[in-house]
Amino acid sequence: MQRYAFKMKLKPGVAAEYKRRHDELWPELARELREAGISDYSIFLDEETLTLFAVQKLSDSNTAASLPNLPIVRKWWDYMAPLMEVHPDRAPVATPLPEVFHLD
């Protein structure tokens, strides 16, 4: 099991809507994330900078890299694109963060 952390960026004035949409996460998307070997997935918001910090656990046999090929993931990206910084294909701009400390 490995931990994977990354950051993303919200647009101003959409934090409540971003949270609402995640509170109502589509069950089929949650299922695909779990089936890809993702667990213990959290997203935190720095309200001053609108930076989102995400951390998740990936199973040793995860298939997370193939998630962008799934229609449900592309649909979610389209749904979330108005709220955050995205690439031209509407994928979130996500910057991986190296782990520098961990305490079990």
- pLDDT tens string 30-56: 999 999 999 999 999 999 999 999 999
**Total number of domains constituting the chain:** 1
The pLDDT of residue 24: 97
57: domain range? 2-97
Residue 103: inside a domain: no
Residue 104: inside a domain: no
Q: Note the pTM of the prediction, 2 decimals.
A: 0.92
Tokens of 58: 């990936």
Residue 6: inside a domain: yes
Residue 102: inside a domain: no
The mean pLDDT value for 53-80 works out to 98
Q: Which residues are catalytic?
A: 22
Residue 80: inside a domain: yes
Q: What is the pLDDT of residues 85-103, one digit of tens each?
A: 999 999 999 999 999 999 9
pLDDT at 104 over 90: no
